[in-house]
Amino acid sequence: MPLTTRLTPLLLSSAVALSAASTVQAEEDEVKIGFIVKKPEQAWFINEQEAATEVGEEMGFEVVRMGGEDGQAVLSAIDNLNSQGAEGFVICPPDVRLGPTIMNRAEEYDMKVITVDDRFVDSNGDPMEEVPHLGMSGYKIGEQVGEAIHEEMQERGWDADNVAALRITNEELPTAVKRTTGASDVLIDNGFPEDNILDAPQENTDTNSAFSAAAPVISQNEDIEHWIIYALNEESVLGGVRATEQYGIDAEDVIGVGINGSGAAFAEFSRDEPTGFHGTIAVSSTMHGRETAENLYQWITEGEKPKANTETKGKLMTRNNWEEVREELGL
């Protein structure tokens, strides 16, 4: 047998081995990042993580999606990411005051961190400027809510003296306080009686928690003719709307305006008959997911650290325009 014939299988075998080795090396060289959110079951965070995964597939990096509903869960998630070789993570923290603790753990592993939606604060309650952040200005988004409610009240010809404002909020969450304060300030500046703003403290940020908070406030004020409702997000506003329905208040006597622009709002706008959920200030969670994931990847691969704080704006979405706004914002 000629020497070249005998060598051919060996050469082919070596080529296959080299190809396999190259594939393994490429996989090992692929950048991996984490994306940790506090409420992985909520539509906003589902969209955010899916968008991050999509941009990772487009640009050639892997996104590990994880939940972190409390401090211990977040620390466990960071440990898990480190064991998988992740070089950084995007996080919406369950409590912004966990910032120093989370950063200590990240620094142990030499991980880069970007916060999304909710921004870390230090022991003095000041924003941690050293950690890049992308999110909404809570106060400004709240102002948009207040403006939308005020304009709709005028459209309906309501006398503010006969209106009660149901402010559903969580005083432990700075974002919630900023958003509801922004809405309250706009209403008061436009002549709404401050005494007519009724607080409904919620323990969580979902619809059930908001319903539980709103129901007793409504039951104690059954003589109120009209209601306006605002909160941290649209899930909480929907909880307030459901409570008004429980007490037999007609939809035309309720103006609820939320924040986000997610499946919860889409489902409400798709109902055959309008409800008290008038609208939501829609912000693109898809954009938040894509941009933070891309920024982190570029930081890891090119050393380009993102801006300390990037703020996004919202757009009023109602039953009349929700499909157009959804397409415009890529929701």
pLDDT of residue 5: 45
Task: State mean pLDDT over 191-201.
Answer: 97
Is residue 25 predicted with pLDDT exceeding 80?
A: no
Would you say 133 and 308 are in contact if contact means Cβ atoms under 8 Å apart? yes
Would you say 255 and 291 are in contact if contact means Cβ atoms under 8 Å apart? no
Is residue 10 predicted with pLDDT exceeding 60?
A: no
Q: Tell me the pLDDT band of 241, cut-offs 50, 70 and 90.
A: very high
Residue bearing the bigger pLDDT, 262 or 310:
310
Would you say 188 and 228 are in contact if contact means Cβ atoms under 8 Å apart? no
Would you say 148 and 279 are in contact if contact means Cβ atoms under 8 Å apart? yes
Q: Tell me the pLDDT band of 16, cut-offs 50, 70 and 90.
A: very low
CATH code matching the domain that covers 138-282, chosen among 2.30.130.10, 3.20.20.140, 3.40.50.10470, 3.40.50.2300: 3.40.50.2300
pTM for the whole structure: 0.68
Give the percent of the chain with pLDDT over 90. Answer: 79
Q: In what order do the strands lie in the sheet with 226-231?
A: 197-201, 163-169, 226-231, 254-260, 277-282, 315-318
Q: Tell me the pLDDT band of 171, cut-offs 50, 70 and 90.
A: confident
Task: State mean pLDDT over 56-64.
Answer: 97
Would you say 230 and 146 are in contact if contact means Cβ atoms under 8 Å apart? yes
To 10 degrees, the CA torsion angle through 73, 77, 78, 80? 140
SS3 73: helix
Q: Tell me the pLDDT band of 164, cut-offs 50, 70 and 90.
A: very high
Query: In terms of CATH architecture, what is 32-131+285-311?
Result: 3-Layer(aba) Sandwich (3.40)
SS3 115: strand
Q: Please list the alpha-helical segments (H only) found in the chain.
A: 3-29, 43-59, 71-83, 99-108, 138-156, 174-189, 207-219, 234-246, 263-269, 285-302, 322-329
pLDDT digits (tens, 9 = 90+) for 150-161: 999 999 999 999
Query: Which region, left, alpha or beta, applies to residue 252 given φ > 0 means left and ψ of -120 to 50 means alpha?
Result: alpha
Task: Give the closest residue to 263 by CA, choosing from 41, 36, 101, 25.
Answer: 41
Task: State mean pLDDT over 44-48.
Answer: 90
Distance between CA atoms of residues 316 and 257, nearest Å: 9
Best-predicted range by mean pLDDT (68-82, 127-141, 251-265): 68-82
Residue bearing the bigger pLDDT, 262 or 35:
35
pLDDT digits (tens, 9 = 90+) for 88-133: 999 999 999 999 999 999 999 999 999 999 999 999 999 999 999 9
- What does the mean pLDDT of the chain come to? 90
pLDDT of residue 173: 84
Is residue 213 predicted with pLDDT exceeding 60?
A: yes
Task: State mean pLDDT over 186-215.
Answer: 95
pLDDT of residue 29: 67
- Residue 315, judged by CB atoms within 10 A of its CB (0-12, 13-18, 19+), counts as middle
- Residue 312, judged by CB atoms within 10 A of its CB (0-12, 13-18, 19+), counts as middle
Domain extents in the chain: 32-131+285-311, 138-282
User: What value does the CA radius of gyration of the chain take, rounded to a whole number of Å?
Assistant: 25
Residue bearing the bigger pLDDT, 65 or 260:
65
Task: State mean pLDDT over 174-187.
Answer: 94
Is residue 74 predicted with pLDDT exceeding 90?
A: yes
Judge if 32-131+285-311 and 138-282 fold alike in CATH terms: yes
